[in-house]
């Protein structure tokens, strides 16, 4: 083995990006929890903590650039570093959606919700499942698992459409509900986008493992 330090850096990079993914998932989870519990203080905390995830993203990006510049990686190493570089961007965006949900929670304050929360927690649960599978695929270099994880995006989209239709009905029946209904619609939209970012991550994993660059779930 001639490149021990490089191999160690690559492993740490992979570990740290998985760790960043867990933090982004945690932020999404807590944001939906803040909505369910109507916990404005928790929402504020999530917004404040997003800076740390942004910093983690920048730090990972810099490490990728340093490895590209100093190690001049090729083949599988090059794909791994290029993929991590792209994946951290999607994970950072995913965490931004947690921040967006938290802002909606703050705007809603203690105003009563226009409908019980059913589909939104379901969306969140599907995203967590998708994230778990995605991070496991990333950790174990499993392209098939990443492709299966990307497939879960369809369920999230379906749930989002259901939320949209329900909220439209409510808004048509009682225009008074529009401002509050829109906030829930925004939350659903953030969750749907978070799942889209995970699909991008899955595409990068497939590329990292196989060298094939293509869209999953089009």
Q: For binding to another protein (CB under 8 A), which residues are involved?
A: 1-3, 6, 72-79, 143-144, 146-148, 150-151, 206, 210-212, 216-217
Nearer to another protein, 88 or 199 (CB): 199
CB of 24 to another protein, least distance (A): 23
Nearer to another protein, 36 or 217 (CB): 217
CB of 21 to another protein, least distance (A): 20
CB of 206 to another protein, least distance (A): 6
Nearer to another protein, 101 or 201 (CB): 201
Pairwise CA distance, residues 131 & 127, whole Å: 6
CB of 144 to another protein, least distance (A): 5
HEC letters along the chain: CCCHHHHHHHHHHHHHHHHHHHHHHHHHHHHHHHHHHCCHHHHHHHHHHHHHHHHHHHHHHHHHHHHHHHHCCCHHHHHHHHHHHHHHHHHHHHHHHHHHHHHHHHHHCCCCCCCCCCHHHHHHHHHHHHHHHHHHHHHHCCHHHHHHHHHCHHHHHHHHHHHHHHHHHHHHHCHHHHHHHHHHHHHHHHHHHHHHHHHHHHHHHHHHHHCCCCCCCC
Nearer to another protein, 128 or 210 (CB): 210
Paired tokens of 113? 């919700």
CB of 79 to another protein, least distance (A): 7
CB of 57 to another protein, least distance (A): 25
Nearer to another protein, 10 or 120 (CB): 10
Nearer to another protein, 94 or 137 (CB): 137
């Amino acid at each position: 083995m001639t490149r021990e330090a490089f191999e160690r850096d690559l492993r740490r990079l992979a570990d740290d990006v998985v760790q960043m993914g867990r933090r982004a998932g945690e932020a999404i989870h807590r944001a939906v929890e803040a909505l369910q519990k109507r916990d404005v203080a928790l929402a504020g905390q999530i917004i404040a903590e997003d800076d740390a995830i942004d910093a983690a993203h920048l730090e990972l990006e810099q490490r990728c650039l340093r490895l590209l510049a100093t190690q001049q990686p090729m083949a599988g190493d090059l794909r791994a570093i290029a993929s991590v570089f792209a994946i951290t961007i999607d994970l950072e965006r995913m965490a931004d959606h947690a921040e967006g949900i938290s802002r909606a929670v703050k705007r809603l304050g203690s105003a009563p919700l226009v409908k019980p929360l059913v589909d939104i927690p379901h969306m969140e649960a599907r995203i967590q499942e998708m994230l778990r599978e995605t991070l496991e695929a990333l950790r174990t270099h499993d392209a098939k698992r990443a492709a299966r994880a990307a497939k879960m995006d369809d369920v999230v989209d379906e749930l989002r459409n259901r939320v949209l239709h329900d909220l439209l009905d409510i808004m048509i029946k009682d225009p008074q509900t529009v401002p509050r209904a829109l906030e829930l619609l925004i939350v659903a939209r953030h969750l749907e986008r978070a799942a889209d970012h995970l699909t991008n991550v899955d595409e990068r994993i497939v590329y990292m493992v196989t060298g094939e660059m293509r869209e999953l779930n089009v």
